[in-house]
Structure 1
């Protein structure tokens, strides 16, 4: 260190920054222009595979058998006849036109497109002369009364009632499998990724709006992953509105805090620069905006404002004793760069720990947010003090700071009692009782996974969930499906011993709570054997004669693969709640453990239920791991910073209390631990540690000056208490606007983060000094210069 600033010791970094202020501003300006250009190219982007844990055994099995299963990404479109039933010429013509429209839509797997108009949808019956059958809609159909009556009779014999046709005959379904990557219609050599937002808009414009306008007697209902994600992205366009609202509220509060328009504009400008850098960097590394990473700019804005407030507060305090804005800025930089850097590293750790979750969108969120908080080092810790060194702070703000420095503050004096031994004992007891009660409550009530039907990411009254409710209410087959893949050697899937075991598993699943029904080639085989024996119910069983078995499943196309080595067992579920999925998975895994062999394996799992089950297992496995990793990393950084185990305990314990209370709140509100809420755990801890670091760094300084604990805490509150309160408000405001989102998971995240940010702030102001009363020995710190990196 060298004495070059009014006899004060300065660091190499300080000299490097402030001796080259114009260069710093120029470099930041050029970087901002470049990254702003990159940010303009950012577009909404997501994919089916990014939303699922690709390396989980269930998903590996699904991907290995994807061709035989027909893919996992599809939509279902139900065309409802509002008056009457489907047996009228106008309805059937509308259905035909919709199928033709879908056939030419980009991203549709045309070979798998099915509706009543598809040639592969057939009816079969047994007569005195044997089996007869044909297409449900015959080639002779012309829309007259006789053709419609033939259609009705064919449907009754097709087995499609409750599956492709509603139980009340008032609607029918078009099944639309999708391709993640498809050839460009204009350039066959080029491949395009499915754009979910664009595809969702096509469904609305070319199907729902168009055909409901043409035929007022019909209503269209659309469900499926692609439509859900498209609706999510549309709902997230409101983020711009929320961001603008958060910006205006922060502007008002920031001016009220600083009483200086120059400071207010400086903090907001540098923070917006951080957001621009973060979005630009996301595009540079190849990321797009998906429903999860769309939230990251909010977090970066809130974190940037919180650190900016600390810098402005420090500069205002130093300006009362400094001759120039440059000296005040340099002193503040010297005092707060290291605690700010540690706090930002803690924020980054909170995000990085999310990388252990094997889901693409969460890993991209973790990387995007980590880049964003590291950017704040340059914008809010370096660029902001440099800018203020030129602009300075208004005389009014400096006068207020001088007056606050010398006058008595009744509010801070009252809060300083938290460091009083008698109050501290009471506080610790309250924290212990509340924490223990909350831990017991969350242990018995907090659940993993989705707790609602339909798409829990969307509001219950959203169009998608209303469409989903219609399909659930009018069809026998649920939209929640889990598929078990029964693997055998080639040409062995129809062997009687294998089918017997499959039949036994189907019986166990049919008697499992939460299972609506099951379907496999066993279902077809039993029906055909019964039909061949005068439809007698006593023949509705598997034949021991292999030739009879082969004949009974010969017409069950789609229920086994071309090499007869894989049979899908489709399990229709009442819902996709975690308890339902756990029961089904346990039933299959127990059966597989007892019956798997080299010749036959029962593998989990495909379908949306299988994906949900895999996701729940990933979350269940990583929930505690993430929390432990966050606390270890935060604790290590606090130890490195303060070189004190008691100081680390004082900072970390309030965070632990907040985590426990946050989980209890989730259990109370009926919010499950899932992909959307798991990041809250890491974010709440990683960002919440900022309060404790800033408070303890000041407290440590006053304790080393020889002040008793309560007086040292009072002086800490006088110098940084207002900034900590404001920081809590800024962080909370930055995410509180999410609660008004049309996207339910975003609203849930906003509610939980607001709660955790405010509670972390309160915990740092209330519990930290109480714990310090028992763990910190002021007399041992008095007069010491070392011991803490922040003392240097």
Structure 2
């Protein structure tokens, strides 16, 4: 059989004496002629990075979730100090188990809980609110003018008289529905958090959540407990997610175990299977060690990155193991087999890993720190794989080899696949997709699926689709707490704030107050807004109070003297709507929920009002409050989604073009990935998953892993085609080598993540479904669409070689291309 044109012949060498150790590229010689140094170096690095893991921390930060350069977020951050606790906060509802809140036992428990919460690290104490804090005050109009004081009477002693005074003060302060439940059975503690502690470090949400849980355990558990405690807020959500992430390690272990058994079932070789998994785990250790050295932490949304690094490592390691196993089965010495495999697959592997690195690095364009850190940690991990899987695995296999029985079984299986009408019917069926009829069916079917998926993906919403925390299951403690608070209080925890900026002292002018009042009324008309409050409401109340509470005076007077008097009253009562310079006042809208549609409606209304009413001396700045921040973040996510995928595919296409040197081959490799991305977004629609900070990177990460399948399979197919084989034969040959491993890896990775469906963290369960879908569809796309598209686009790769062969020896039939091995 003739040696294929342009294809180096790799002879079967059983004795190392017959092998030229100086053959191969410079890189190959440097690696395999210094194998012991490579192994010792990797061992030392693994020990070093493993030691660094002692400092690995899982943390979360409110600041890192914010798109720092977005206009509305900049407005919020620039004025955050003047907004008095309107950023990150926790809400704690304390419910009386028996009766209402007006009993000594309940109030005694509330006082203790309030004091313990007050001294927790990270709490912005001056603006903490409850019926026990002095910042919560009541006012009343009397014949002598205004009078008032803290809601909790100064002489409170738990006597019936002082409790009755407290009841009266609560009514005077108008806090029923906000700090006191509508049924008077519970009251609220609003706990604003600082952006950083005294040392400049961000608040430790895990420690804060743990402290709150300890308080809940002491006061709200056991038969003698007098109260129930309900807690919501971003910090508590992150704390719950971090606590739940301990179970992620269990699922990671299940992924390793399932990968071991599936690969072992395929290879029947324990040592090589353990080596592949071991090197992938080593890559994860290196990655996490580097994360620690660079001063970063893991957060709940980047916890999937170590698994992705492991998954990519298994994918590349299995290809190396399969190649070496087949060469050893032919009788080649294990060291020579390792070098042959390195020659064949290093370029394809390097291209695939670089495509992964670039794909992850593209996420850096999204100006959200948590996504940038995810992109960095993922890029670090994949960069590490270039060494651990492309170099360490072949070197280690050159020492330990594979089981002779496994190698012989692998060779016989390959020969059976290549025999006419032989082999596994599944592989034979896949090879038929190179035929025109099935190729047309596959392409038309893919177009139909893609069209349906695209129409469905247009329904994908940006932001949360549920009223509670979509990251957790509906029956989670957090979402049950949220349901209790939502149903028992008139004012929700979702606050959208518009900041009205004026020159110093300008917030008290009649014109400004009139516009503030108009804005409040406009926002109140939006569906989903429960109520609005602003400085205009405060001035209206105080003005009526000046005139014996006459409702006719419950307005904003055009007499500036009357307004100034009420501003002074507001200052004396420490109003949250006034800052020191009277140049910033917020208009607050309390929303029924933080669903994407609700946020979009109020954002568009506020934006339109600002555009129509902004002047040189008065600007309406969007947006503050947790709902305002969420709305601004949704804008960034929506803009970044398509841009991110465009850049990812552009980078992958460029690397494929460099590798394949054929624009047609690039189309063949990228089309299956595009189809998977479209269908993944359609799946998100049907699962009720919104596109948000937590889910935005997943589709891009799926592209990064999926490209590995196509690069390995297509590069092998093209090598055979450029050796003179027709498309059908080249694909069948590629399928018998790298193709089977593509299927193996797809099944292995899907089996590893499908277990996430049973996670108590809904975010992880959703990601498990999405990743399983993407692993399987990327695998099927590579195995079905690559041959189908190759039939129409890559026939020329074989014809050029065949023509060259005919031109070289037109009268020599012995030189006809009949196939061969790489």
Is residue 2:458 matched to residue 1:437?
no
Give 1:61 shift.
1.0
- Give the distance between the partners of 2:578 and 2:551, measured in 1 at CA: 25
Residue matched to 1:788: none
| 1:466 aligned residue | 480
Q: Is the 8 A contact 1:704 1:784 kept in 2?
A: no
Aligned partner of 1:280 in structure 2 is 289
- Please give the secondary structure, in 1, of the residue aligned with 2:768: helix
Deviation at residue 220 of structure 1 after TM alignment: 0.6
Q: 2:800 aligns with which of 780, 786, 789?
A: 780
User: Among 558, 563, 567, which residue is 1:544 paired with?
Assistant: 558
Report how far residue 2 of structure 1 moved: 14
TM-score, scaled to structure 1? 0.95
- Deviations 1:703-743 (CA, angstroms, capped at 9, x unpaired): 22333222222222112222011111233234333333222
**Within 2, Cα distance between the matches of 1:85 and 1:210?**
17
1:369 corresponding residue in structure 2:
378
1:20 aligns with 2:29: no
The whole-number CA distance in structure 1 between the counterparts of 2:472 and 2:555 is 44
CA distance in 1, matches of 2:504, 2:801: 77
Match of 1:603 among 621, 637, 649: 621
Query: Which residue pairs with 1:187 in the alignment?
Result: none
CA–CA distance in structure 2, aligned partners of residues 2 and 250 of structure 1 = 34
SS at match of 2:179: coil
1:399 aligns with 2:413: no
Post-superposition shift, 1:68?
Answer: 0.9
State the Cα distance separating 1:784 from its structure 2 match: 6.5
Matches for 1:631-650 after TM superposition, within 5 Å: 631-650=649-668
Asked whether the 8 Å contact 2:94–2:110 carries over to 1, the reply is: yes
Question: Which 5+ residue runs of structure 2 have no aligned equivalent?
Answer: 1-7, 11-17, 417-421, 806-820
Between the aligned partners of 1:784 and 1:349, the Cα distance in structure 2 is 37
- For residues 651-730 of structure 1, the aligned pairs below 5 Å read 651-730=669-748
Alignment partner for residue 298 of structure 1, among 307, 311, 318? 307
1:36 aligns with 2:50: yes
Aligned counterparts of 1:705 and 1:744: Cα–Cα separation in 2: 50
Please list every run of at least 4 consecutive aligned residues from structure 1 whose deviation after the TM superposition is greater than 6 angstroms. Answer: 1-4
For 1:382, which of 391, 400, 403 is the aligned residue?
Answer: 391
Secondary structure at the residue paired with 1:238?
helix
Query: What is the CA–CA distance in structure 1 between the aligned matches of 2:221 and 2:541, rounded to whole Å?
Result: 39
* Equivalent position of 1:330 in the other structure: 339
Please identify, of 201-210 and 310-319, the stretch whose mean Cα deviation from structure 2 is larger.
201-210
The 1-side partners of 2:557 and 2:113 are apart by: 42
Q: 1:10 is paired with a residue of what secondary structure?
A: coil
Residue deviations 1:493-532 (CA, integer Å, cap 9, x gap) = 0100111111111111111122111111111222233344
- When residues 208 and 546 of structure 1 are mapped into structure 2, their CA distance, relative to the original with a 3 A threshold, is farther
Counterpart of 2:499 (choices 455, 474, 485) is 485
Quick one: distance in 2 between partners of 1:428 and 1:323? 40
Superposition pairs of residues 556-635 of structure 1, within 5 angstroms? 556=570, 557-635=575-653
- Deviation track 1:470-490 (CA, whole Å, cap 9, x = no partner) reads 111111111111111101111
Q: Quick one: distance in 2 between partners of 1:515 and 1:393?
A: 67
Q: Is the 8 A contact 1:258 1:312 kept in 2?
A: no
Shift of the alpha carbon at 1:550?
2.4
Task: Determine if the alignment matches structure 1 residue 167 to structure 2 residue 182.
Answer: yes
Aligned partner of 1:262 in structure 2 is: 271
Residue-by-residue CA offset, 1:383-413 (whole Å, 9 max, x unaligned): 1111111101111111101211222213211
Deviations 1:289-324, CA, capped at 9 Å, x for gaps? 211222111111111111111011111111122431
Q: What SS does structure 2 have at the residue aligned with 1:281?
A: helix
The alignment of Structure 1 onto Structure 2 pairs a total of residues equal to 780
Q: Distance in 1 between matches of 2:178 and 2:219?
A: 26
TM-fit CA distance, 1:544: 1.0
Q: For each residue in 1:262-294, what CA deviation from the matched residue of structure 2 results, as whole angstroms up to 9, or x when unmatched?
A: 101111111111010000000011111211222
| Residue 90 of structure 2 is aligned to residue 75 of structure 1 | yes
Q: 5+ unaligned residues in a row in structure 1: which ranges?
A: 184-189, 786-790
Match for 1:59 among 73, 88, 100? 73
* 1:135 counterpart residue number: 150
* Partner Cα distance (2:346, 2:727) in 1: 25
CA distance in 2, matches of 1:538, 1:104: 45
Q: CA deviation at 1:179?
A: 2.3
Alignment check: 8 A CA contact 1:446 1:667 kept: yes
Once the two structures are TM-superposed, the CA of residue 11 in structure 1 deviates from its matched residue by: 1.1
Q: For residue 371 of structure 1, report the CA deviation from its aligned partner.
A: 0.7
